[in-house]
Amino acid sequence: MREQLHDGLSLFGQSGSRKYLNAAERRRFLESAQQLPPPERLFCLALGWSGARISEALALTPASIDIESGVASIQTLKRRKRGIVRQVPLPSDVLVQLDREFKLRDAHDPELANERIWKWSRTTAWRRVKETMAAAGIFGTAAMPKGLRHTFGVNAFQSNVPPHLVQRWLGHASQRTTSIYGDVVGPDERAFAMRMWSKRQPVWPTTN
């Protein structure tokens, strides 16, 4: 598969299992998150809508979320060079909920503004996402925080977001890494296949 040629990153496990959620699973995850208490719900939504790694989402502070501009400033933690920040747009309803729950606009004190919004350990955050996946009936390779990051990339490509924006939002150093998300069969590709199927002659089972 072409995905395996890009920096060793693949969207499929060795058995062919997906590492990302399909559209129906993504919808169920977001619906399941709506049933959670506000802190857990908003963490799942922020993770799902930003494409952030779990450690990057846990590092978010009131100062890193600009309600007026509608973006989260996410520090890219995987690269060796520190201090690289990328701005990722978030849905307005998620921003409103974040502000309402965590009083982001009121964090004028520099110390409060730079305190982490979610003061959980990485293990706790990982477990809460897994529990939400399970409640949504999602299991296997994709049912983890990294699966949400892959889902973000796939959804961005299938929504025709320009590749350079997907690269920037995900914080990839190379567009070769980003390009794997364009290899997933999307609605347009399936539409071409359906046109091809419409021209085939039906094959009926033979009877003796």
- For 64-74, write each residue's pLDDT tens digit: 999 999 999 99
Q: Is residue 204 part of a domain?
A: no
Q: Is residue 44 part of a domain?
A: yes
pLDDT for 6: 45
Predicted confidence (pLDDT) at residue 193 exceeds the cutoff of 70: yes
Q: Is residue 205 part of a domain?
A: no
Q: Is residue 136 part of a domain?
A: yes
pLDDT for 79: 63
pLDDT for 4: 41
Q: Is residue 42 part of a domain?
A: yes
Predicted confidence (pLDDT) at residue 185 exceeds the cutoff of 80: no
List own/partner pairs for 167-174 with CB under 8 A and 24 or more apart.
Answer: 168/86, 169/50, 169/51, 169/86, 169/88, 170/51, 171/56, 171/74, 171/76, 171/78, 171/79, 171/84, 171/86, 173/79, 174/7
Q: Is residue 206 part of a domain?
A: no
Taking the CA atoms of 65, 66, 67 and 69 in sequence, report the sign of the dihedral they define.
negative
pLDDT for 190: 80
pLDDT for 118: 97
- What does the pLDDT look like over 104-161, one tens digit per residue? 988 777 878 899 999 999 999 999 999 999 999 999 999 999 999 999 999 999 999 9
Predicted confidence (pLDDT) at residue 53 exceeds the cutoff of 60: yes
Average pLDDT over residues 78-82: 68
Confidence tier at 197 by pLDDT (50, 70, 90): confident
How long is the chain?
208
Q: Is residue 208 part of a domain?
A: no
Report the domain count for the chain: 1
Q: Is residue 193 part of a domain?
A: yes
| Containing structural domain, residue 7 | 2-197
- What does the pLDDT look like over 14-35, one tens digit per residue? 888 999 999 999 999 999 999 9
Question: In CATH, what number is assigned to the domain containing residue 97?
Answer: 1.10.443.10
